[in-house]
Amino acid sequence: MTATGRTISTSLASQIKRGRRKLSVLGWIAETLKYAVLIVLSISFLLPFYWMVSSALKDSSQIYTVPPIWIPNPAYWNNFWDAWMTYNFNLYTFNTVVRYAIPATIGTVLSSATVAYGFARIQWPGRDFLFWICMMTMMVPFQVTTVPLFITFKHLGWINSYRPLTIPAWFGSAFFIFMLRQFFKTIPEELSDAARIDGASELGILFRIILPLSKPALTVVALFTLMGCWNDYYGPLIYVNNAELMPLALGVQAMRTELAHVGGTHKFAYAYLMAVSTMVTAPIVIAFFLAQRTFIEGISLTGMKG
Amino acid sequence: MSVAISKRRRISPSTRRRFLTGLLFVSPWLIGLLIWTVYPIVASVYYSFHRYDLLRPPVFLGLRNYTRIFTQDADFSVVMYNTFVYVIIGTPLGLASAFLMASLLNTRIAGRSIFRAIFFFPSIVPGVVVAMIWQFLLNPQFGAINGTLRALGLPVIPFLTSPPYAKPTLIMIGMWAQGSAIVIFLATLQDVPRSLYEAATVDGATAWHKFWYVTIPMCTPVILFQLVMGFIWGFQDFTLPYLLTGGGPNEATRFYALYLYDNAFRFLRMGKASALAWILFVIILIFTAILFKSSARWVYYGGGDE
């Protein structure tokens, strides 16, 4: 059915000139069906989020009602504030952003861009071989390196800090090196040559010419790294156990465990969980709406060239 | 390095300078490679031949970690079965649905970017939030889905609490969060040259023929890449099963990454965990090799693509 819908329109591409509005009855049925499928799919994709937000406004009597209540009445708007403040989410946000996301993002962008420049814009013997090795490292499952690194970090006394998660970020990420290299290669070589004739150093060319021209690609790297830190669960789970240092992902989970103990006796147990989930998701929604094109183009850029 | 330089001494000084400059630019990655990849890989091999619990010094076991995993570890075969079912069914199913949805979006429709945004969005939501929403939504007593079924007098579905349902439920949630694959496939579909469809129309091809003989072959390189990445990620999938089911019910969702995590960070069996990581690496390598080997039969490289 999808196939039919899709190809009807491609064959339309050639027929379009002959008469745009002359769709057959069959064509109309296919068109209607196509939108019906799209709308049903869209609703099922969005419904979980609607459920999350609406449940954030309920008290337990509304939560436990069958059939489920879709429009809470009364709506407890205070839940957002109460849940956030009661469970220390200002601290978790601070930890996520200041201790984790910002240092990791600055490190990743700067180091990946520098390394990508060395792989993309300078001709030197051995370059392509090293680049190949860089690509191969992406094949190694993180589990192989996690165990020895954990042992090393433990001996260094880095457990219960963000150092295991932020310091490696300053050594470049193979994935983003690859992405930036592809992007840098599209910038005309003449620009660099002209600058070299004027006596610019390679570092000067990188910072004065290449980086300003690569803002879209750098935005993708920064955005994806920030979001990766904001969403990261596995890294902090292993390295950060101290309640004072927890990031948002662990904070939500800790709150869930705590509320599970009081269970049904808490009037807003589920509502609080959903309220905090909503608020943790909100910045991602905002970022997505502000930078939708960056997201979509970034994803398309990263997934296509093998 | 000094060997490499002395070999090249006969080459012009400018080449030598470029070599040093290039090396300097990639040095963050190169140093990182030694610290964060090469050393852990070597150490991981070492630990996999030892018993090590972080407290007492490592005890040499030879290959016994490996032989015990394969011959005496009853959990291992359960974990392997779970993981293979999950990955071999889940990954292609998820990609097929993503491809169909991308094809639907690639037809001539109004509001394409809105639909694309809706389908993409779940994939960037934090894993903790995804787990929180679905656990609540699928709750057998008062979740939205079972609450509705109950109200309609239909039998309740034990999505996450009954072994036969648990894996399909996780696969379904994975399909919901399949946004980046949809975006990548859509970008690929939009790159298929119009002229090919026009030529097919001239030759009297039906819509189905065009989909099967033009669209799919033109997309096979990207499908291959997505399959490879999908399998690699699938084998390492951790956050969602860890938070949603914790490996249950009755071990039905105890996947490889969970098992490895338990051994390393709950039981502190660093040696066994290292051995498990290497077995995982070998499995991934075999899978990737099979896919690339088979690709000669079904992947179409043409149209000037790489």
Interval B208-242: pLDDT, tens: 888 999 999 999 989 998 999 899 999 999 999 99
Does B103 share its domain with B213?
yes
Q: Whose CA is closest to A230, among A97, A83, A37?
A: A97
The confidence score (pLDDT) of residue B272 equals 96
Q: Name residues 212-271 of chain B within 8 A of A (Cβ).
A: 215, 221-222, 224-226, 228-229, 232, 235-236, 238-239, 243, 257, 260, 264-265, 270
Does B80 share its domain with B31?
no
B62: left (phi over 0), alpha (psi -120 to 50) or beta: left
Does B9 share its domain with B127?
no
In a domain, B135, yes or no: yes
pLDDT confidence bin for B205, thresholds 50/70/90: confident
The confidence score (pLDDT) of residue A16 equals 47
DSSP result, A181-248: HHHHHTS-HHHHHHHHHTT--HHHHIIIIIHHHTHHHHHHHHHHHHHHHHH--HHHHHH---TTT--H
Mutate to test the interface with B, among A54, A89, A137, A144 (most CBs of B within 10 A): A144
Q: What is the ipTM of this complex?
A: 0.88
Put simply, the answer to whether B4 touches A126 (Cβ < 8 Å) is yes
Does B133 share its domain with B14?
no
Put simply, the answer to whether A41 touches B101 (Cβ < 8 Å) is yes
Nearest residue of A to residue B257, measured between CA atoms: A143
Q: Is the peptide bond before B140 cis (omega within 30 degrees of 0)?
A: no
CATH number at residue B219: 1.10.3720.10
The confidence score (pLDDT) of residue A165 equals 96
Cα(B110)–Cα(A298) distance, rounded to whole angstroms? 23
Does B155 share its domain with B251?
yes
Q: Whose CA is closest to B247, among B82, B74, B73?
A: B82
Query: Which residue type, as a one-letter code, is found at position B78?
Result: V
Bridge-partner residues for B50, per DSSP? B60
Mean pLDDT confidence for B50-71: 93
Residue B139 DSSP one-character state: -
Cα(B188)–Cα(A137) distance, rounded to whole angstroms? 26
Query: Which ranges of chain A have pLDDT less than 50?
Result: 1-9, 12, 16-20, 305-306
Does B156 share its domain with B83?
yes
Q: Whose CA is closest to A72, among A58, A83, A61?
A: A58
Does B145 share its domain with B234?
yes
Residue A212: both structure tokens together: 């300003």
Q: In this structure, what is the dihedral angle of CA atoms B244, B248, B251, B253, given to the nearest 10 degrees? A: -20
Mean pLDDT confidence for B286-301: 89
Residue with tokens 């709950």: B266
Does B107 share its domain with B22?
no
In a domain, B25, yes or no: yes
Does B35 share its domain with B124?
no
Enumerate the H helices of chain B as residue ranges.
2-7, 13-32, 39-48, 64-71, 74-105, 112-120, 127-137, 144-151, 163-176, 179-191, 194-202, 207-210, 216-235, 239-244, 256-261, 270-298
Put simply, the answer to whether A115 touches B257 (Cβ < 8 Å) is no
In a domain, B52, yes or no: no
Mutate to test the interface with B, among A89, A119, A137, A147 (most CBs of B within 10 A): A147
Residue A129 DSSP one-character state: H
Query: Cβ-count burial of A193 within 10 angstroms (0-12 exposed, 13-18 middle, 19+ buried)?
Result: exposed
Residues 6+ apart with CB under 8 A from B239: A233, A234, B127, B128, B131
User: Cα separations (Å) of A302 from A87, A210, B44, B77, B229?
Assistant: 37, 20, 30, 35, 12
Residue A305: both structure tokens together: 């060239």
Structural domains of chain B, count: 2
The confidence score (pLDDT) of residue B14 equals 86
Cα(A120)–Cα(B293) distance, rounded to whole angstroms? 30
Return the higher-pLDDT residue of B21 and A17: B21
The confidence score (pLDDT) of residue B208 equals 87
In a domain, B19, yes or no: yes
Q: Which of A3-17, B149-163, B254-268 has the lowest mean pLDDT?
A: A3-17
Nearest residue of B to residue A178, measured between CA atoms: B29
Instruction: Please say whether the beta carbons of A103 and A162 come within 8 A.
Output: yes
Mutate to test the interface with B, among A115, A122, A143, A285 (most CBs of B within 10 A): A143
- Chain B residues within 8 A of A142 when measuring between CB atoms: 236
Q: Whose CA is closest to B50, among B37, B41, B59?
A: B59
Put simply, the answer to whether A172 touches B121 (Cβ < 8 Å) is no
- Chain B residues within 8 A of A117 when measuring between CB atoms: 25
The confidence score (pLDDT) of residue A4 equals 44
Q: In this structure, what is the dihedral angle of CA atoms B172, A2, B120, B94, given to the nearest 10 degrees? A: 30
Interval B65-85: pLDDT, tens: 999 999 999 999 999 999 999
Cα(B272)–Cα(B68) distance, rounded to whole angstroms? 9
Put simply, the answer to whether A137 touches B37 (Cβ < 8 Å) is yes
Long-range CB contacts for residues A87-91, cutoff 8 Å, separation at least 24:
A87/A251, A87/A254, A87/A255, A87/A258, A87/A272, A87/A276, A88/A251, A89/A248, A89/A251, A89/A276, A89/A279, A91/A244, A91/A246, A91/A251
Cα(A35)–Cα(B241) distance, rounded to whole angstroms? 34
Q: Radius of gyration over alpha carbons of chain A, in Å? A: 25
In a domain, B178, yes or no: yes
User: Cα separations (Å) of B1 from A142, B34, B217?
Assistant: 28, 14, 45
Does B215 share its domain with B141?
yes
The confidence score (pLDDT) of residue A295 equals 82
Q: In this structure, what is the dihedral angle of CA atoms B47, B53, B58, B62, given to the nearest 10 degrees? A: -50
Min Cα distance A253 → chain B (Å) is: 7
Question: Number of CB pairs < 8 Å for A and B?
Answer: 321
B109 touches chain A (CB under 8 A): yes
Query: Which residue type, as a one-letter code, is found at position A48?
Result: P
Cα(A1)–Cα(B104) distance, rounded to whole angstroms? 9
B24 touches chain A (CB under 8 A): yes
The confidence score (pLDDT) of residue A21 equals 52
In a domain, B304, yes or no: no
Does B229 share its domain with B275?
yes
Mean pLDDT taken over chain B: 90
Instruction: Please say whether the beta carbons of B181 and B93 come within 8 A.
Output: no
Return the higher-pLDDT residue of A63 and B290: B290
The confidence score (pLDDT) of residue A122 equals 92
User: Cα separations (Å) of A65 from A144, B143, B149, B291?
Assistant: 47, 10, 13, 50
Interval B104-148: pLDDT, tens: 999 888 889 899 999 999 999 999 999 999 999 998 888 888 888
Does B98 share its domain with B191?
yes
Domain that holds residue B271: 74-298
User: Cα separations (Å) of A221 from A110, A150, A170, A183, B120?
Assistant: 10, 26, 14, 12, 18
The confidence score (pLDDT) of residue A69 equals 86
In a domain, B62, yes or no: no
Put simply, the answer to whether A154 touches B54 (Cβ < 8 Å) is yes
Of B22, B143, B151, the CB nearest to A127: B22
B83 touches chain A (CB under 8 A): no
In a domain, B50, yes or no: no
Instruction: Please say whether the beta carbons of B284 and B235 come within 8 A.
Output: yes
The confidence score (pLDDT) of residue A60 equals 83
Cα(B68)–Cα(A123) distance, rounded to whole angstroms? 50
